[in-house]
């Protein structure tokens, strides 16, 4: 029986469950889908992944085939930078980012799935990096201090966050004034049929959690960012198996003729040099702390 869209906490639970499965699967099993968990026919996910194989810092064991872009390509990471990767998984983008920061920089990966953190730390232990760390936490309440990051990265993860407004407020909070983010994500051009948009399994698979492009960019600008632009995009069509499962023949024809589509985008944005007033107004008093009580990250 198919589940329909649920509360934010129930959706997070679904995502954690799916990604805990993914953490214990080989890349080959995950590579046939947007967010892993096997084939599109079985798990209602879709293919968005890209090839990292030729990138400096690439670690095969950390690449689970879950991304929809290469955010480091436009991240302007410099030697000595502090970089934070949101939804870091097994560490793929973290290790690539570390190749830019060098030994004098610092890279922090944050993921809400304990199994992913365990896998990422094991990968880092094998690589022997002393300036890389992985923290368990949610993007809406990051275990990272204010004004910490020179660059924030994320790869096909923000679409999984129920409260995207809060997520971008957190990105703003942890960036230093004048610093920037590079985020790859899945957005919608046009509209998705409600039968697809409301399926919880498709939320976990990076589909139902996606929002329309202009709405996505508006959330970023409303968080206080400037110079926001889409620096790369590519079509990411829904697999026929998903369309056939969730839509009647008449609905399929309507969707196919609508011009709507899924799109992989990489978005760049900058935190203004002077942004204290925006930051103060974006979070309530309890949320202005540097990180969750007891996390030890401050």
Mean pLDDT of 195-207: 74
Q: Is residue 154 part of a domain?
A: yes
The residues near 129 (Cβ < 8 Å, ≥ 6 apart) are 95, 98
Taking only the tens place, the pLDDT of each residue in 72-121 is 999 999 999 999 999 999 999 999 999 999 999 999 999 999 999 999 99
The whole-angstrom separation of Cα 173 and Cα 195 is 36
Q: Is residue 208 part of a domain?
A: yes
Work out the pLDDT band at 2, boundaries 50, 70, 90: very low
pLDDT number for residue 281 = 37
Q: Is residue 291 part of a domain?
A: no
Half-sphere exposure of residue 289: CA atoms within 13 angstroms, side-chain side: 14
pLDDT number for residue 280 = 42
Q: Are 35 and 66 in contact (CB under 8 A)?
A: yes
For the chain, give the mean pLDDT. 83
Q: Is residue 294 part of a domain?
A: no
Q: Is residue 290 part of a domain?
A: no
Q: Are 193 and 163 in contact (CB under 8 A)?
A: no
Given a cut of 50, is residue 30 above it in pLDDT?
yes
Which CATH number is 270's domain given? 3.40.50.150
The residue written with tokens 């201090």 in the block is 145
The domain in which residue 211 lies consists of 8-282
Work out the pLDDT band at 13, boundaries 50, 70, 90: confident
Mean pLDDT of 147-155: 97
Lowest-pLDDT range, 15-24, 62-71, 112-121? 15-24
Q: Is residue 295 part of a domain?
A: no
Task: Provide the token pair at 156.
Answer: 């096909």
pLDDT number for residue 82 = 98
Q: Is residue 287 part of a domain?
A: no
Q: Which of 9, 62, 271, 15 is nearest to 158 (CA)?
A: 15
Burial string for 216-252 (b: 16+ CB within 10 Å, else e) reads: bbebbeebbbeebeeebbeebebbeebbebbbeeeee
- Other CB atoms within a 10 A radius of the CB of residue 152 amount to 29
If one counts the domains in the chain, the total is 1
Q: Which of 171, 166, 196 is nearest to 83 (CA)?
A: 171
Q: Is residue 298 part of a domain?
A: no
């Amino acid at each position: 029986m198919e589940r329909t869209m649920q509360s934010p906490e129930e959706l997070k639970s679904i995502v954690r469950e799916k990604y805990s499965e993914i953490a214990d699967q080989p890349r080959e099993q995950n590579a046939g889908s947007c967010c892993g968990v096997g084939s599109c026919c079985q798990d209602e996910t879709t293919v968005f992944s890209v090839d990292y194989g030729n990138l400096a810092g690439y670690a095969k064991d950390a690449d689970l085939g879950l991304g929809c872009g290469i955010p480091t390509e436009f991240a302007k990471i410099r030697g000595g930078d502090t970089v934070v990767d949101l939804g870091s998984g097994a560490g793929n983008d973290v290790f690539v980012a570390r190749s830019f920061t060098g030994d004098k920089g610092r890279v922090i990966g944050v993921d809400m799935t304990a199994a992913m953190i365990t896998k990422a730390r094991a990968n880092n232990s094998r690589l022997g990096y002393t300036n890389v760390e992985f923290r368990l936490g949610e993007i809406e309440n990051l275990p990272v201090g204010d004004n910490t990051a020179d660059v924030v990265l994320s790869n096909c993860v923000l679409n999984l966050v129920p409260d995207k407004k809060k997520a971008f407020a957190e990105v703003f909070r942890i960036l230093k004034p004048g610093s920037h983010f590079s985020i790859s994500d899945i957005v919608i051009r046009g509209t998705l049929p409600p039968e697809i948009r409301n399926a919880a399994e498709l939320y976990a698979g990076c589909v139902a959690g996606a929002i329309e492009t202009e709405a996505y960019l508006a959330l970023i600008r409303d968080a206080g960012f400037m110079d926001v632009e889409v620096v790369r995009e590519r079509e990411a069509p829904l697999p026929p198996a998903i369309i056939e499962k969730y839509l009647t023949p008449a609905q399929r024809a309507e969707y196919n003729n609508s011009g709507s589509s899924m799109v992989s985008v990489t978005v760049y944005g900058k935190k203004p040099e002077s942004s204290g007033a925006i930051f103060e107004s974006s979070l309530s008093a309890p949320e202005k702390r540097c990180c969750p009580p007891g996390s030890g990250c401050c």
